[in-house]
Amino acid sequence: MILKPQTLDIRIILHFLGKIILGFGMMMVLPVAVSVMFGETVPVVDFAIGLIASISTGVLCILVARLDKHPEMNWMHGMVVVSLGWLVCMVLGAIPLYLSGHWKTFLDACFESMSALATTGLSLVQDLDHLSHGANFWRHLMMFLGGQGIVVVALSFLVKGGAGAFRMYVGEGRDEKILPNVAETAKFIWLVSLVYFVVGTLLLALCGHLSAGLSLREAVFHGACIFMAAFDTGGFSPQSQSIIYYQDGLFEFGTIIVMVWGAINFNLHYAIWNGKRKELWKDIEVRTFVITLGLVTLLAAAALAKGHVYGTIIGLVRRGLYQIISAHTTTGFSTIYSPQFILEWKSLALLAIIVAMGMGASICSTTGGIKMLRIGLIAKAFREDVKRFLMSDSSVVSTKFHHLKDMFLDDKLVRSAALMTIAYVLVYLFGTAAACFAGYPLLESLFESTSAAGNVGLSCGITQVGMPVFLKVVYIIQMWAGRLEFVSVLVLGGFIVSCIRGK
Amino acid sequence: MNRIRSIANIIVGICFEMVFAAAIVLWGLVICGVAFLIYR
């Protein structure tokens, strides 16, 4: 029998949902400051409307669901708060975008907002090159907030750490704590991100000013936006031509540095910052990343070189390798135009980039996709199974792996990694089927679907304003579910069913 | 003193990660180079 949720359940969910919305809404002050700095008046009004809508929604939720004492938040509450929170933030974040007039419909603005929060980078904006600095900054800031996690934002400022906070933190697709207290973990994630924000923005601004020829003010603005998109492995850029706009090898190199920073597990940042630098070489995630990157690069480079797509080695690196690293770190920056994937790249190179997008990078980082820890564990389990056949029946094999500390590879870990991998593959196939149903060819459909669900953002041209409405909704769901790693989304589905059919 | 040491550790850590990222590019460059030379 399915039990109907009690009033207290709804109140707990609404209360914490209100806090998340409040934390998210307050961030709209930052694009207002950017608009004022650049002397833009109309965007200030757009953001004021968005700010008022967010703050009033948050306060209303908290007031309606006022809690006399602090009841314990269970797993169901945590998961529902997170999945609902992301949807509500998508709608609220879309308000100032839609008001700017650069998105054709409110659904398109919601698509952009979810793409930013989920650090995907697929875009339905029109005439991006004339978008106000404030709105452009907001797209990138949402990416930055989504990359750290909007629950992490709330945990850092508005919610006390505890078991309930940890349940929300897990619901956001992260199950590794860096410090014993989850609120301290959230604060550390912010510390890392803000330190890298300063270093990365300076690095990119210098490249932009000295090498790519941007004015100092524009170089700082572009540096900050590109940093937020690169470190959070999102892939938005302030100009419609993505990284092609800069036409500069040094700037491209700078973005690769930041993308790789973003692809590293926050736990590893913590270890390295505490002097344990050997952890970087020992960790199974990093080793798997280096191996898989080598393999997909080899496939793509062989296909591109054999087809003489790029005439020089520099061309192969700046056009081929860049796309592969961008795909594998699930960033989505590109140095070629979308149609070039289909028109110029060979099928094998496309397959390599799809595999890279599907695999993603580290757990507890800002990347999407299946993640390297899971791929590494499954590969290790395969190797052990083959080894068992070669050994005598009486021998006992115990396998260790290193992920922050030495651990034993047990069946439970492998099962959980395999289940999550299957879930991702099914979601990739679901999006592929949807695009095929809309009439797009198979390979292009697979490319775009993997890009959406793996939170990558590279496009082969399907994502356009004129694409079917149902496909936009499918991609929004894929981006949302892929970022939250499915569990909290499925719990929300179960919660809705129990509200309707429960007794 | 501890604070200075932790700030120094952070700076060295950031430089170390920058070198790691550069090594990733170098790794890719070697593979691309080999592929390019084979199919030249």
- Mean predicted confidence (pLDDT) in A242-252: 92
Euclidean distance between the first and final Cα of chain A, in Å?
8
Q: Do B35 and A273 touch (CB under 8 A)?
A: no
Of A70-74, A93-97, A404-408, where does the model show the most confidence?
A: A93-97
Question: What value of ipTM does the predicted structure carry?
Answer: 0.94
Those residues with Cβ within 8 angstroms of residue A289's Cβ, 6 or more apart along the chain or in another chain:
A263, A328, A361, A362, A372
CA proximity to A424, closest of A351, A347, A484: A484
Q: For chain B, list residues whose CB is within 8 angstroms of any CB belonging to chain A.
A: 6, 9-10, 12-14, 16-18, 20-22, 24-25, 27-29, 31-36, 38-40
Those residues with Cβ within 8 angstroms of residue A293's Cβ, 6 or more apart along the chain or in another chain:
A324, A325, A328, A356, B24, B27, B28
Q: Which of residues 305-324 of A touch B (CB under 8 A)?
A: 305-306, 308, 313, 316-317, 320-321, 324
The two tokens of residue A308 are: 């003489």
Span A142-156, pLDDT tens digits: 999 988 887 777 776
**A chain contacts of residue B7, beta-carbon cutoff 8 Å:** none
Q: Do A321 and B36 touch (CB under 8 A)?
A: no
The pLDDT score that the predictor gives to residue A187 is 83
Domain boundaries, chain A: 1-175
**A chain contacts of residue B31, beta-carbon cutoff 8 Å:** 294, 297-298, 301
- Mean predicted confidence (pLDDT) in B10-38: 93
Indicate the SS3 state at residue A110.
helix
Q: Answer whether residue A344 shows pLDDT above 70.
A: yes
Best of A313, A318, A323, A346 to disrupt the B interface (most B CBs within 10 Å) is A313
Angle at alpha carbon of residue A8, lines to A5 and A9, rounded to 5°: 45
State the smallest CA–CA distance between residue A119 and chain B in angstroms. Answer: 20
Lowest mean pLDDT among A28-37, A169-178, A318-327, A479-488: A169-178
Q: Answer whether residue A108 shows pLDDT above 90.
A: yes
Q: Do A297 and B31 touch (CB under 8 A)?
A: yes
Q: Which of residues 122-141 of A touch B (CB under 8 A)?
A: none
Query: DSSP for A407-450?
Result: EE--HHHHHHHHHHHHHHHHHHHHHHHHHHHTT--HHHHHHHHH
Span A350-379, pLDDT tens digits: 999 999 999 999 988 888 899 999 999 999
Best of A203, A259, A273, A281 to disrupt the B interface (most B CBs within 10 Å) is A273
Span A439-461, pLDDT tens digits: 999 999 999 999 999 999 999 99
Q: Do A305 and B28 touch (CB under 8 A)?
A: no
| Distance in angstroms (rounded) separating the CA atoms of residues A446 and A351 | 9
Q: Answer whether residue A392 shows pLDDT above 70.
A: yes
State the smallest CA–CA distance between residue B32 and chain A in angstroms. Answer: 5
Contact indicator for A431, A451 with CB cutoff of 8 Å: no
Residue A92 confidence class, pLDDT cut points 50, 70, 90: very high
Span A181-199, pLDDT tens digits: 777 888 888 888 899 999 9
Q: Do A264 and B17 touch (CB under 8 A)?
A: yes
The pLDDT score that the predictor gives to residue A391 is 82
- Mean predicted confidence (pLDDT) in B4-26: 91
